[in-house]
Structure 1
């Protein structure tokens, strides 16, 4: 079994959420419902024994609820190291200094992107001892190389996964169901980088449901995607489900809403 999360950081949605980046074309989020969904997300973590630090909303940065993009948590012996990113979306770069101040209370092992390196945490997937990093419009090769140097020194392997634009992040359509199984959209189903894992491919039209959240001892899946839910169940999983409709409107999913370690 891999890391079982015991801690998480989330940020309350700002009322400006609807001004954030999105290509979903699903309209503006209902903020009352978004806040209910966010509270349910926190309650789920707490029900699994995860201690949650809830940061105040930051109206200056509409996308700041998606805290995962500002840092990558790297498990190390006795705790966690943190790599502070530089988001490829220029409108989000101011979020970094805010999260860095919070992270400094978590660990002394803090690394930070420099120069022209770009990375968003939504492009980073840890499976076992390997970090898979999407190379796209939000994370560039220099960002990958900087991160790789740090992660390799800490005992990890790093694999670049370049892909064509059409979705914000690698984990938008690819995530872990357990330590050995990935769920993904068809675009990743034949990629050599993932050949050693068991793979479930979500049906066309239900790609959003491929962003699942595996906590190490529980599995959370977006509600409202019956064919994917059946696929997951038929393969021996017993997930919990949660409605993320308002965050889907802003291209956000389950993993985006927290930093976990």
Structure 2
């Protein structure tokens, strides 16, 4: 099925501060290369038949390119974001306005800190919800109340994988005929959360450390194609063995800020 994505061009992309272990302001950043990589990601979605809408980037918000962190949309209901860091706090209001300007009527801004699809992954029946570094665990109950879907809490324990979407992605959503299928990196999660994932998804694709380190789990799947970083070769082989088609993109410049394909991509589910 065609997907509907929201993205934000990295027109003001920079690494001027460090709010995650991947960011180093002393390492040079090439904004033009970041824009080329982002454009290729956007165009890849369109070549695959998906709709992409764009939010206007704002000066002084270099991480606004990571649109996934600014909203969670399930069945047309929108739960906005409340960022954990002051550097990104202003992004939430720009995305709230975008939703309202584009006809979304059920838009709720959270009371608790949540970084949207950075820590929320919809499986078709359950919302997997990460915590440990950014999203407050109280936001999980808030998401359940606002979105009206069951929420499963998962604790992240490795600061390199500070968002759920750096350690797990949904390969295919559940439907009437089959359960959801996911891929994840076990060592990013607490022992208890690993047990929960094994119980819920016994047939999951398990990534190794090398694929996690190149942001291979920060992938986007439309149920057939899996868009992932060019370096994630072992993970690509594993998803191909399950019948999916890997599609490689270069996100090396964007990764300097701790982002990859999924970070750049918010999905609209109506």
After TM superposition, the score normalised by the length of structure 1 is 0.88
Structure 2 CA distance for partners of 1:8 and 1:234, relative to 1, 3 Å:
closer
- Structure-2 separation of matches of 1:147 and 1:189: 22
Aligned to 2:209: 204
Is the CA contact (8 Å cut-off) linking 2:157 and 2:190 kept in structure 1?
Answer: no
Structure 2 CA distance for partners of 1:73 and 1:211, relative to 1, 3 Å:
same
Aligned to 1:193: 196
Matches within 5 A, 1:91-106: 91-104=87-100, 105-106=102-103
Aligned to 2:156: 163
Is the CA contact (8 Å cut-off) linking 1:148 and 1:158 kept in structure 2?
Answer: yes
Q: 1:118 aligns with which of 110, 113, 120?
A: 113
3-state DSSP of counterpart to 1:255: coil
3-state DSSP of counterpart to 2:95: helix
**Aligned Cα RMSD in Å?**
2.0
3-state DSSP of counterpart to 2:200: coil
Give structure 2 stretches of 5+ with no counterpart. Answer: 174-179
Superposition deviation, residue 31 in structure 1: 1.5
Instruction: Spell out, residue by residue over 1:96-121, the C-alpha distance to the aligned partner (whole angstroms, 9 max, x if none).
Output: 1111110012411111102xx10002
Structure 2 CA distance for partners of 1:99 and 1:137, relative to 1, 3 Å:
same
After TM superposition, the score normalised by the length of structure 2 is 0.85
3-state DSSP of counterpart to 2:15: helix
Is the CA contact (8 Å cut-off) linking 1:22 and 1:249 kept in structure 2?
Answer: no
Structure 2 CA distance for partners of 1:120 and 1:177, relative to 1, 3 Å:
same
Give structure 1 stretches of 5+ with no counterpart. Answer: none
Tell me, yes or no, if structure 1 residue 178 matches structure 2 residue 172: yes
Structure 2 CA distance for partners of 1:120 and 1:138, relative to 1, 3 Å:
same
Matches within 5 A, 1:1-261: 4-20=1-17, 21-24=19-22, 27-75=27-75, 80-104=76-100, 105-114=102-111, 117-121=112-116, 122-152=118-148, 156-166=149-159, 167-179=161-173, 180-187=180-187, 188=189, 191-194=194-197, 195-197=199-201, 198-207=203-212, 208-261=215-268
- Structure-1 separation of matches of 2:209 and 2:266: 29
Instruction: Spell out, residue by residue over 1:143-181, the C-alpha distance to the aligned partner (whole angstroms, 9 max, x if none).
Output: 2221111122xxx21111122251220111111122332
- Structure-2 separation of matches of 1:163 and 1:189: 6
